[in-house]
Structure 1
Amino acid sequence: MSILNLGIVAHVDAGKTSLTERLLFDAGVIDRLGRVDAGSTQTDSLEQERRRGITIKSAVATFGIGGLTVNLIDTPGHPDFIAEVERALRVLDGAVLVVSAVEGVQAQTRVLLRTLRRLRVPTLVFVNKTDRTGADPDRVIGQIADAIPMWRDCAEALAEHDEEALAAYVTGQQIPQKLIDKMTAEATILPAYKGSAITGEGIDELRQALATHLPRAESRELAPLRAAVFKIDRDRVAYVRVFEGVLRTRDRVGDEKVTAIDDGRRERIGPGEIGRVQGLRHVRLGDTIGTGEAAREAAAEAVFAPPTLEATIEPDDPARRRDLHRALQRLAEQDPLIDLGLDEETGELRIKLYGEIQREVIRDTLAEEYGLAVTFGETVTLHRERPAGRARAGAVRGRDGNPHQATLELLVEPGEGIQVELAVPVEHVPMYVYKTLAHFREAIERYVRDAFARGGLHGWDVGDARVTVTQCGYQSPVSTAADFRRLVPELLARALAAAGTVVCEPVHRFAVEGPADALTATLGALPRFGAVPDAPGAGPGRFTVGGTIAAARLAELERALPGLTRGEGTVESCFAGYRPV
């Protein structure tokens, strides 16, 4: 069986959900076309998605093209949900980037293009809305580097990207189809098609391109398991894509066991397949499942930009505070990048966010699904703490007032991300509790992450820290996992107090584009926003300048740019890390 896991990505209002409906309708999966403006589409199942006309959560649908099974993943397009898009892209074999033939390439389109290139996802471009007044698909294709229009002779354009294509072009030979497929699979070129998802124009050509240009999922059943979680629904059912090996019912994943696949209708998920997995109550979005080297490498690569905003949230009815806490916990379980915190001193609930639209979605979800009216406080920019040096803290079971039936010593020092290492012999680890050394390390890492999320010396989350377990001890059968879980945050607090911490602010990389005669004014204004610009670049009548800027100042730059560029400038940005304040 040939399988293609396909993503559809686009800027808001480019028509990707309408394209999904058209593909499903033409394949006979649905018997009528839904409309975004009418809130009747197949994949926008959330009430807010229907009302707002935007996709918030990744949705999955399946259709066939001849002998090819296509698992189609319709992803969000709004910038506030870019993390949701990245999670989906990592499980794809290929993608369709939808661009409006009227509005053309927009800021979010460029963000998606950079992400597709960075992840090397084979991509087709579909220029949609050719039935609209003002449509100009040729102009739009010209805005996308490496997009090759396939509706006209493109041999010359292909020859610019490949020596074999160049040789065929200069000798007057037709460029082989297999070469186009190879260049597409390597994400060297983006074959482009045009049409209308509403009228159906150009859809047959796009369907044929899906079957011929994009690579199939590899079938490696005998390899060690490597799979990824890219969606979790409200019932804690995980959507899992298997890359290699096989995931079966009753398989163990960490301390949990797969209890059912697709509501019990299947016993296994093979290479290339997607399934709805029950039983994994603690799995998180973006998690890699598997024990082989490839799975470990994939887990290390799956790092998503964190939210950089936070706001307090209160129920309008104070008597429903506990209901609000439970509802927010449910939302955070579905998406751990919506991070919930409770200030133990003030009792305030705080939630981490990517943007204002996301805040509105959470507010409406609480009202519609949980009957909770809420008020958000002022949105603030999140900072982060890093260890300033290295320090140890330890406790011995039964000594110096240690109330826990565990011995543990932790070394904390600066690092990249949060790393947990073991420097203790296996006989010092309570294997009757944790079963394997790997499970013990994973548990300690979970305890460390939970403790760091509660805040460091200045109240901000702690990151970029390496924690090494340098001593460990227990008494069987008295010592339990709870002893270690409770001891870890106490030791970390002592170690951080000894090492000290540095407060850091989130930083974005930005790229400003505008008319060439506005370059001087733009460069002169950037320092006012604390931006550090790179050397500018120039094209026909346009300039580009990139650089770094504090996340808290980015909105100021966005508001000022129209005045600096006569309304013709655009700014794109992406999270770039943290720097000391």
Structure 2
Amino acid sequence: MIKNRFSKLYYFKSSYHFRSILCNVNIYRTIINERYILKCQRLYSSSSNDYSITKTRNIGIIAHIDAGKTTTTERMLHYAGFTRRIGDVDDGDTVMDYMKQERERGITITSAAITFGWKDHRINLIDTPGHVDFTIEVERSIRVLDGAVTILDAVSGVEAQTQTVWDQADRYEVPRIAYVNKMDRTGAGFGRTVNEMRYKLGTMPLVCQIPVMKKDNKGNTVFSGVVDFLNMEVLDWDKDSNGSIINKTPLSDKYPISGLFEETLKGRASLIESLSDLDSEMLDTFLELEDPMKITAETIKNTLRRVVLKGQAVPVFCGASFRNIGVQPLMDAIIDYLPSPLDRPAPMASLSSNESVKIDLKENDKLCALAFKVIYDSKRGLMVFVRVYSGRIDNRMLLFNTKTQCKERVNKLVQMYADDVEEIPSITAGNICAIVGLKNTRTGDTLIRFDDTRKNLKLQSIEIPAPVFFQAVEAAGISDEKPLDDALKNVLREDPSLHVYVDPDSGQNLISGMGELHLEIVKDRLLNDFRVNAKLGKMRISYRETATVGKIDHTYLYDREVMGKRVKAQVSLTISPLPENDLGLSEEGGNRVMLEQMIITDDSLDTKEQQENVSLLLPKTEIENALRSGLMTGLYRGPILGFPITKLLIKVNSIKLFGAESTKAAISTCVSQALVDAVKKGNPALLEPLMKVDIELTEEYLGDVLGDLTGTRRGMILGLDAAKSTFDKIDQNINIYAPPDPTYISSSERSEHTVLKSKKVIHAHVPLSTMLGYSSALRSLTGGTASFDMRVHSIGLMSDDQAKNVIREMQGGY
């Protein structure tokens, strides 16, 4: 046994992993063998007794696709001692991208959570996708995070999806730090990217590091390290140790790189001046000492933390994660500048429509937790990720879901390590974990103790985007129908941005999602992960229908015999197009329903008794609920192709009841049929989703792309701008510092020197139906140099010719 232990120890001494562990020697001083290393790290990560809530960081990695989120996370895990070797996205062996679909495509599809330790702190990290089709993963992750790291590509700068995820973080007021990655790439521009952060993201970037560029043996300028403004040190990473060893050299005017010392003095002075503008304590210190070099690193660090927590500014760091440069200072910044759960404002929860309560972060208080993600595990079943805001959840505890009003039991509590888990006895306030055994809990549900009297307590839910693509999915045979239904239920619980419904005419299951890649992934999972024998049809657009005539008054009498009983009701309503400035109500599918001035009469009562006794036969609230239910049914399926009806103002003028014959079902059916008939009389028309498209490209391809947009894609050009901050100098009126980039010259593979060209941005509205496959088309038109962002803007009226083509195609079957 002793021999084996020492042989294991010798093995790690000769490995890079052992060196990285020794960087955090206080944590790992008792490590003996490989098995104990992993176990020690797990205990360190998940034990709630060893680390206070002030030493907890719930953070997310957000960025545009291919900015280096997963690559950076893999380095964090390695330097923290969690992994023995560094995973590679291209090789498909990363810890965080564990799904088969992620490893095949080299992209992140689902947000993955992991817990690890760094410098006596526990970090609960969520790596989020960068593709627009999976924006729900970013939305529900940011909802529960306390801070975020935004990663930017030094070559591409602030890209389209970067702006989208930044806006999502703004909406939840999440403090952030920024990391400019890929500084080793040809054409990288740190200063240019800092400028773009100011202009495109509307934030105040505070540069805390600048890149060190050296000449290699061939005379090329290469990225070799960074200068730390706070400590006035040059940080250089040892290549032989996979970046685990950092060499620190004090910076002085004798440093061999010309101008580096002077630029660092300028940058440090600018950082302190900016902090003085934002923070009164720093201003007092600056006025007292007068010399920026006399202000200590600790003072600057404390001030940076204060302005970050207030959302006033964003510290900016740089590196090249793939080359193992710059990651450890980023991890230090997460600890130093991003908030603990105690630093965040207490969330508000509603008890009723007009009563709210603040949820204070106290372990001994009543439990309040938010379910923010559900995943299906083939071994463990459904697992629900929760963020605990107050109280604690214990194993085998009985919970209550305030949205579904259902009782839930915790079968098992687990700490997540991507696709691996560790069972834990409890989870305390401020932390994130997963629960096995919850049957009726969905994304956005609030969980409390079963014996809590606050049965209507609800935390702010998570905004779910509306799907815009759909396709048919059907079982290959009768024996495959149940497995398909079960698989679809699990997929829907995992991803709330997916919708599944049954077409009443064809009887087919229709599944709708956010984009082509989104549905492609769903299809792949159904066939390969769930092993369902199913057929999927052609991908189609989710259109809408509406009435175009100005105003339609319609009265409908419903009189039927159902199962030997007479049911009867009469409804009079008015429909008209919804004004553009009236957004409608989300629960009514973009329509507005008015029941306030409705007159209720009962034909079975005498005139004098009507107003007094109508409520005795059927309460007014039940009548309104039946009317609203019937209208929702009618709006769900339009008269042309069965798409949902939208953009209508619906006013119910009166309803006539006929005593006991007017049941709630009769009222609901009557108003539903009345609405359908009114829409048919109102010259129904098809509507199509219009996308707001922003395309960034060089001028040489401008004509080709504009011609493609306005031609077959039927787009409307809104404007053409210069890409902000591509080569623009800093606005002298804005007090930010951005270092000069060493060169704007890049080298091609043939060593021919070409100047990086300024870019333009096209803003347009384009029908979604014409944007299918646009990513490939744009690559072809621009040689792969352009990028675009696309999101739903509105629903627009379709031309008669286009509508006829769609009707002909849809009626031709799937």
TM-score by length of 1: 0.77
What is the CA distance between 1:134 and its match in structure 2?
Answer: 6.7
Q: Is the 8 A contact 1:457 1:496 kept in 2?
A: no
2:368 is equivalent to residue 233 of structure 1: no
Q: Which of 508, 517, 521 does residue 691 from structure 2 map onto?
A: 508
2:675 match: 496
1:416 match: 585
Measure the CA separation in 2 of the matches of 1:571 and 1:245.
45
Measure the CA separation in 2 of the matches of 1:447 and 1:280.
29
Alignment of 1:491-570 (within 5 A): 493-500=672-679, 503-515=686-698, 526-528=709-711, 529-538=713-722, 539=724, 541-555=758-772, 568-570=785-787
What is the CA distance between 1:270 and its match in structure 2?
Answer: 4.6
What is the CA distance between 1:244 and its match in structure 2?
Answer: 5.1
1:163 match: 277
Q: 1:14 to 1:368 in 2, by over 3 A?
A: same
Q: Is the 8 A contact 1:417 1:464 kept in 2?
A: no
Q: 1:559 to 1:45 in 2, by over 3 A?
A: closer
Moved more, 371-380 or 265-274: 265-274
Q: Which of 342, 353, 360 does residue 502 from structure 2 map onto?
A: 342
Q: 1:338 to 1:197 in 2, by over 3 A?
A: same
Per-residue CA deviations over 1:189-229 (Å, capped at 9, x if unaligned) read: 33222234455432221111111111221371468876433
Q: 1:63 to 1:372 in 2, by over 3 A?
A: same
Measure the CA separation in 1 of the matches of 2:94 and 2:430.
26
Measure the CA separation in 1 of the matches of 2:63 and 2:569.
50
What is the CA distance between 1:81 and its match in structure 2?
Answer: 1.2
What is the CA distance between 1:273 and its match in structure 2?
Answer: 2.0
Alignment of 1:72-87 (within 5 A): 72-87=125-140
2:106 match: 53
Measure the CA separation in 2 of the matches of 1:406 and 1:246.
53
1:457 match: 639
Measure the CA separation in 2 of the matches of 1:362 and 1:206.
35
What is the CA distance between 1:308 and its match in structure 2?
Answer: 0.7
Q: Which of 425, 442, 445 does residue 284 from structure 1 map onto?
A: 442
1:124 match: 177
1:434 match: none
Alignment of 1:145-544 (within 5 A): 145=198, 146=203, 147-152=205-210, 153=267, 155-156=269-270, 163-164=277-278, 168=283, 172-173=291-292, 174=295, 176-198=300-322, 200-218=324-342, 220-221=360-361, 227-234=369-376, 235-243=381-389, 249-253=397-401, 254-260=404-410, 262-263=412-413, 270-278=428-436, 280-287=438-445, 295=458, 298-299=460-461, 302-315=462-475, 320-385=480-545, 401=561, 415-418=584-587, 451=633, 455-458=637-640, 459-462=642-645, 490=669, 493-500=672-679, 503-515=686-698, 526-528=709-711, 529-538=713-722, 539=724, 541-544=758-761
Per-residue CA deviations over 1:516-544 (Å, capped at 9, x if unaligned) read: 67767766765444434434433554433
Measure the CA separation in 1 of the matches of 2:488 and 2:118.
41
Q: 1:570 to 1:134 in 2, by over 3 A?
A: closer
Alignment of 1:86-101 (within 5 A): 86-101=139-154
Q: Percent identity of the aligned residues?
A: 26
Moved more, 462-471 or 1-10: 462-471
What is the CA distance between 1:283 and its match in structure 2?
Answer: 3.1
Measure the CA separation in 2 of the matches of 1:120 and 1:445.
40
Per-residue CA deviations over 1:437-464 (Å, capped at 9, x if unaligned) read: 9xx99x9999789957953434113567
Runs of at least 5 residues in structure 2 that lack an aligned partner in the other structure = 1-52, 211-266, 347-359, 415-422, 449-453, 579-583, 601-614, 658-662, 728-757, 799-814
Q: Is the 8 A contact 1:261 1:268 kept in 2?
A: no
What is the CA distance between 1:72 and its match in structure 2?
Answer: 0.9
Q: Is the 8 A contact 1:117 1:187 kept in 2?
A: no
Q: How many pairs are equivalent?
A: 560
Q: Is the 8 A contact 1:456 1:496 kept in 2?
A: no
What is the CA distance between 1:93 and its match in structure 2?
Answer: 0.9
Q: Is the 8 A contact 2:279 2:307 kept in 1?
A: no
TM-score by length of 2: 0.57
Partner secondary structure for residue 365 of structure 1: helix
What is the CA distance between 1:110 and its match in structure 2?
Answer: 3.7
Measure the CA separation in 1 of the matches of 2:570 and 2:338.
52
Moved more, 15-24 or 524-533: 524-533
1:477 match: none
Q: Is the 8 A contact 2:560 2:568 kept in 1?
A: no
Partner secondary structure for residue 209 of structure 2: coil
Q: Is the 8 A contact 2:694 2:763 kept in 1?
A: yes
1:478 match: none
Measure the CA separation in 1 of the matches of 2:708 and 2:671.
44
RMSD: 4.9
Per-residue CA deviations over 1:235-283 (Å, capped at 9, x if unaligned) read: 3332122345666732321321231174397786554222323554333
Q: 1:156 to 1:329 in 2, by over 3 A?
A: same
Runs of at least 5 residues in structure 1 that lack an aligned partner in the other structure = 432-436, 474-482
Per-residue CA deviations over 1:332-380 (Å, capped at 9, x if unaligned) read: 2221322122223223222112222223322321232233354432221
Q: 1:455 to 1:252 in 2, by over 3 A?
A: same
Q: Is the 8 A contact 1:18 1:35 kept in 2?
A: yes
What is the CA distance between 1:390 and its match in structure 2?
Answer: 9.6
